[in-house]
Structure 1
């Protein structure tokens, strides 16, 4: 008569209903975002690896695009099988077969590693940009040294991220369940988070993951992002003084570095928005009973889609805020198509007399002169203007 049922304070019917509804469309939305993100990040790599674009910041952004592609490629088969082919709430011997659950195990560890590498690359972006803005050293030799340091930093981040994730690799285990029809399926071992039954090694591994892969890099992003914002405000004050003093040419020349700083701030803030809440939720799941089942899991799809959007949106940021990226992209992907149209049009036009031949030669000479002027203009811009990325 005195028995009472203890209800979890974190259980929300609204959240669970939304999670069930969104789970039906999450797979299709994520596959579309991944397809677009893979293509756009390949374009990022092609543009950022051009000779005129080789800077320390661009080197880090290139590797950021590489790991974003790796994350999205691995997410496509996961989303197709566990969301599109089968319902999220559906468990069967086909969906939870041993090969697919091994794939899921590998995917979880792989994606966690790539996310860890990406957020630490974002921290590296903020640190390199802050040091660049506050360093008086200039010249090609200094630029080459910074480029080497950037590449070394990327290698160190990859190695350290893998080491950080080793405890996380060891805590995932599969359990075999036998069904009544003599078939079997596999599920992950229950961690019993937030209770006294939680294994201490699992608790330690999750604390390391949440702190070293989520909270600490987020804190560093906040610190260096604030320093970059402070530097940006100081530079804007200087620009206003130059503009008020009618030094419009100097004002125009100094707009590039400010745009670069704003773009990088946007990139790292997006990482902060997507990764910091996940780190907080992991910590809450470790110490609060039933928080993992009733809060973290229902919000899992939302956190995934936000991370995928963050992986795919960088191309839009680069095109919007970088003149040099936009010019290089147009030169690589748009100029060729325009030249092909013009050449095909010229090849179809008849040339039966000497007059038409002279006109064609004149047009050709004019085209060569025009192209040389464009090349000279581009080279002048590259040499006079600081690399926008």
Structure 2
């Protein structure tokens, strides 16, 4: 069962690790039997202190400090600005459409995924406090919730929102008549609520699956208190570690990593094929002088589809490596014993998580580079005197997704 516990940290959306497991909860008064540990900040081993919160041993520190201590604060600043601008632009009345609502929710989830653990990462790695004992218990609990549970919840929601975006666009492009029935604003809002609730429920038990206790250690010349961590009594007594961790891991592998990534690859391929067919249809319309207005609408629809394909592709480029590392480590822990070294797995997780963070501000650049309407609205809001054209001109607000008879009221982003 300890192998299952080793894999727990790999699933978190932000930098954590696959650490040496804690011992199982067995005695309610176990803290009375723990000996005072003799540690100094320069002389201790992770194996010797594996049963209490130890930030230094959670990550390969040589990589964690420069990446999450020095680079991450700049990424945080850029992400907050970029995603806030996305939300402000897409929340304008003329930009509120089913697609834009999903894009806005994705921007918020990505920003919160980084925003909640950022104060802890800055304190631990930027200010160099990762080696210090973490205390009191409330602080240890806050560390777990803000560094692991909440970021993981928002990142899971972001994955499912990306899948919802691809499904929605596929319906618009390939089954336009169904879009009027299913891709309405009320239905989109319901979908967002369901996704957020599901992501929260998925992480809810993570709030209660560890017990924190007071541990005394002799550290740096004096007695200090740290947080001891053990699997919660309710897990041991009513569920068992095997069932609890295996259920959690299988759910994440199937519904958070494998199914969304495979589905997005398939949907992206189908959208690309539909885009090529639409381009051929546009070329045909260009040859007819009286079809130029329809050609313009089709061009705008194609641009929107291409932009969303790029957004999904960027998402897959950073999510697929994390999914592969996750699956490999789970297999190493519960099927094929230890074919993936822990240190190597930790480094891989560290870098895959870092590239996920690096991708968060990219969507703003994609929208600015590929959406004329987004650029125009941005100029209207933030750049005085640079309105290049009327909001309703230059870029059609409607997309013709399947010919003259299947025009939908889908705003071109």
TM range, smaller chain: 0.7 to 0.9
1:241 aligns with 2:279: no
For the structure 1 residues 277 and 136, does the alpha-carbon distance in structure 2 shift closer, same or farther, using more than 3 Å as the test? closer
| CA positional deviation for 1:138 | 9.8
Q: Report the equivalent of 1:378.
A: 391
Q: Report the equivalent of 1:388.
A: 412
State the SS of the aligned residue for 1:298.
helix
The number of residues matched between the two structures is 327
Which one has the bigger helix percentage? 1
Name the CA distance, whole Å, in 1 between partners of 2:125 and 2:139.
Answer: 13
Greater C-alpha Rg: 1
Residues 316-367 of structure 1: CA distance to partner in whole angstroms, max 9, x if unpaired?
Answer: 11101111111000011102xx49xxxxxxxxxxxxxxxxxxxxxxxxxxxx
| CA positional deviation for 1:189 | 5.1
1:77 to 109, 113, 119: 119
Q: Report the equivalent of 1:311.
A: 360
Q: Report the equivalent of 1:104.
A: 143
| CA positional deviation for 1:51 | 1.0
State the SS of the aligned residue for 2:412.
coil
Q: Report the equivalent of 2:63.
A: 22
For the structure 1 residues 223 and 266, does the alpha-carbon distance in structure 2 shift closer, same or farther, using more than 3 Å as the test? same
For the structure 1 residues 143 and 31, does the alpha-carbon distance in structure 2 shift closer, same or farther, using more than 3 Å as the test? farther
1:227 to 251, 261, 270: 270
For the structure 1 residues 312 and 175, does the alpha-carbon distance in structure 2 shift closer, same or farther, using more than 3 Å as the test? farther
For the structure 1 residues 282 and 270, does the alpha-carbon distance in structure 2 shift closer, same or farther, using more than 3 Å as the test? same
| CA positional deviation for 1:268 | 1.7
Name the CA distance, whole Å, in 2 between partners of 1:99 and 1:292.
Answer: 33
Name the CA distance, whole Å, in 2 between partners of 1:321 and 1:187.
Answer: 51
Could you tell me the TM-score, scaled by structure 1's length? 0.74
| CA positional deviation for 1:23 | 2.0
Name the CA distance, whole Å, in 2 between partners of 1:188 and 1:261.
Answer: 49
Is the contact made by 1:36 and 1:312 (CA closer than 8 Å) also made in structure 2? yes
State the SS of the aligned residue for 1:260.
helix
Name the CA distance, whole Å, in 1 between partners of 2:207 and 2:277.
Answer: 45
Say what the alpha-carbon RMSD is for the aligned residues: 3.2
Moved more, 258-267 or 159-168: 159-168
Q: Report the equivalent of 1:33.
A: 75
Is the contact made by 1:44 and 1:65 (CA closer than 8 Å) also made in structure 2? yes
The within-5 A match list for 1:211-360 is: 211-244=254-287, 250-289=294-333, 290=338, 291=340, 293-335=342-384, 338=385
1:153 aligns with 2:191: yes
Moved more, 19-28 or 46-55: 19-28
For the structure 1 residues 149 and 97, does the alpha-carbon distance in structure 2 shift closer, same or farther, using more than 3 Å as the test? same
State the SS of the aligned residue for 2:302.
helix
Gaps of at least 5 residues in structure 2 are 1-58, 232-239, 400-410
Q: Report the equivalent of 1:116.
A: 156
State the SS of the aligned residue for 1:162.
helix
Name the CA distance, whole Å, in 2 between partners of 1:229 and 1:259.
Answer: 12
| CA positional deviation for 1:265 | 1.3
Could you tell me the TM-score, scaled by structure 2's length? 0.70
Gaps of at least 5 residues in structure 1 are 1-17, 191-196, 340-370
For the structure 1 residues 138 and 112, does the alpha-carbon distance in structure 2 shift closer, same or farther, using more than 3 Å as the test? closer
